[in-house]
Amino acid sequence: MTIVETVEAMLNAEPRGNPGSVLAAVSGGADSTALLYSLHDYCDGQHINLVACHFNHKLRAPEAHAADLASVRKACDCLGVSLVTDCAKRGAIRALASVEGSGIEAAARSVRYGFFVRAARAVDAGWICTGHTEDDQVETVLMALERGVDPLALSGIPARRLLSGNLVMLRPLLSVPRRQVEEFLREAGASWSEDATNAETVHQRNRMRHEVLPELEDEFPAFRDAILALQRNAEGRRRVAQEEAEALFWVVDGENSSMDAGAFYLASREARLLSLFGEAHRRGMIKPASRISVPFFAPLLGPARPAGTIVRGRGSHIQREGERLLWSADVVESAEYGYLRSVALGVAVKLPTGLTVTVYSGEKETTDVQPSVLELKQVREPLVIRSHRVGDEIRTASGHKSVASLLAEQRVPQRQRHLVTVVCDRDGVVAMLADGVGSGRDVVARRPASGGVTCTLVNRGVERNG
């Protein structure tokens, strides 16, 4: 099949039908440029609006970013496709990686995907398409094998991923080898940008691409096919396990949830793991830069535990009481990162600082004496309340500002800033709670319409005895 035929076959099979608009993530490299050209052919024939988006991570020299953007603009101008762009603040991604304890690549992906979601909502796109190819799939499985991860991780990069609501991420080129991508572009007379850092083998993926994989293919000509067969087998096993996991029901009660312990332990190890990850995702624990992993849930993957605490950490406490598994919120505290607490709507949360905060769905009237009441707009659950960190930013009427700079403007003493709390959702900081901390004042994010919901936060301040 040609690349255009491959793209058409995948998009025509998409169960959600016409997306309204399609957003193409274009870096300027060969893979994403080929994606843009092939999507243009498809969307033109289907009378679907195609929009390209490009994100500058501010991790390379300005001239390198300029070359990428010039390549993207040239392709968009040639095809008559509109373009949405944005960029990170210089140093913001490195700061995020440091705070989250993740690598630069994971932090960059987290920020980039946040931009994709915002851009998709801005142009009313139902599909976000990325240019991952078969080579990316092979490299991903090889890296998983090298790390010795859980067998389910050998399923590699999913061709389809539901992000939120009706927003779907698709990877139409995932079965296309990179060499075919470059042949397609040459035949189309299209140019692309070469990222010099892709040749630096200090990064694991680049080392796999330029050193490990070529040697293995020289030694074993059928190696690539074997890796792809392994990936497809793991993908099939994951699909079966996912169906089994969907039959395991977590009963949600406020910020707690529970499940029948007998049903949980009768399920396969893979189904239990996927069920745990699903509930962790609902609770806001699963993020691109998170360190929630299989070892964290390992005590729940073996023989049944009779009673007591099974897993505790990362803001969660999972225990067995009688015939139920109980999953409750637990305050996370550490000298390095401060505290973090997951939030269930309508449930009061008492923080280590003494604050008692409740977030309600929609507008909420309160009869409390002098509470702080904040209206939070365009919120995307789940929510967490935590101490502020280096790199935290909030969108104000005058643009994005760091929490640190706002506290400096409000003349909050440095020694008191650890008492400042932030409320976060999937897209970042929703509110800064600084009222009562020195001369601090609360700040609510000014967000554009994005399909989120309105919530009301009631801050009852510090509880005092007597």
Q: What mean pLDDT comes out for the span 95-121?
A: 82
Whether 286 has a pLDDT exceeding 70, the answer reads no
Task: Please check whether residue 394 lies inside any domain of the structure.
Answer: yes
**Which amino acid, one-letter code, is at 276?**
L
Which of 296, 329, 362 is the endpoint of a domain?
329
Whether 335 has a pLDDT exceeding 60, the answer reads no
Q: Which domain holds residue 144?
A: 3-234
193-212 b/e with 16+ CB inside 10 Å = b?
Answer: beeeeeeeeeebeebbbeeb
Residue 124, pLDDT score: 92
Looking at the fold, whether 428 and 355 belong to one and the same domain comes out as yes
Task: Please check whether residue 244 lies inside any domain of the structure.
Answer: no
Whether 185 has a pLDDT exceeding 90, the answer reads yes
Q: What mean pLDDT comes out for the span 99-106?
A: 72
Over residues 400-459, the pLDDT tens digits come to: 888 989 999 999 988 888 888 899 887 889 999 988 888 888 999 988 766 677 888 887
Q: Residues of the chain with pLDDT > 90: what percent? A: 46
Looking at the fold, whether 317 and 341 belong to one and the same domain comes out as no
**Which amino acid, one-letter code, is at 64?**
A
Task: Please check whether residue 322 lies inside any domain of the structure.
Answer: yes
Looking at the fold, whether 314 and 415 belong to one and the same domain comes out as no
Looking at the fold, whether 34 and 112 belong to one and the same domain comes out as yes
Q: Round the average pLDDT of the chain to a whole number and report it.
A: 85
Domain count, the chain: 3
Looking at the fold, whether 318 and 377 belong to one and the same domain comes out as no
CATH number of the domain where residue 69 is located: 3.40.50.620
Over residues 289-306, the pLDDT tens digits come to: 344 578 889 999 999 988
Looking at the fold, whether 13 and 80 belong to one and the same domain comes out as yes
Which of 294, 329, 364 is the endpoint of a domain?
329
Whole-prediction pTM value? 0.68
Whether 369 has a pLDDT exceeding 60, the answer reads no
Q: Residues of the chain with pLDDT > 70: what percent? A: 91
Looking at the fold, whether 104 and 174 belong to one and the same domain comes out as yes
Whether 287 has a pLDDT exceeding 60, the answer reads no
Looking at the fold, whether 371 and 441 belong to one and the same domain comes out as yes
Q: What mean pLDDT comes out for the span 53-72?
A: 93
CATH number of the domain where residue 323 is located: 3.30.465.60
Which of 329, 356, 375 is the endpoint of a domain?
329
Task: Please check whether residue 239 lies inside any domain of the structure.
Answer: no
Over residues 123-135, the pLDDT tens digits come to: 999 999 999 999 9
Task: Please check whether residue 246 lies inside any domain of the structure.
Answer: no
Looking at the fold, whether 175 and 48 belong to one and the same domain comes out as yes
Give the confidence band of 465 by pLDDT, cuts at 50, 70, 90.
very low
Residue 52, pLDDT score: 97
| 458, 349 contact by CB (below 8 A) | no
Looking at the fold, whether 110 and 9 belong to one and the same domain comes out as yes
Looking at the fold, whether 387 and 452 belong to one and the same domain comes out as yes
Give the confidence band of 186 by pLDDT, cuts at 50, 70, 90.
very high
Residue 42, pLDDT score: 92
Over residues 230-256, the pLDDT tens digits come to: 999 999 999 999 999 999 999 988 778
| Range with lowest mean pLDDT among 150-154, 192-196, 461-465 | 461-465
Looking at the fold, whether 354 and 446 belong to one and the same domain comes out as yes
The residue among 145 and 368 whose pLDDT is bigger is 145
Task: Please check whether residue 243 lies inside any domain of the structure.
Answer: no
Residue 377, pLDDT score: 84
Over residues 3-58, the pLDDT tens digits come to: 999 999 999 998 877 788 999 999 999 999 999 999 999 999 899 999 999 999 99
Task: Please check whether residue 255 lies inside any domain of the structure.
Answer: yes
| Range with lowest mean pLDDT among 58-62, 158-162, 360-364 | 360-364
Task: Please check whether residue 241 lies inside any domain of the structure.
Answer: no
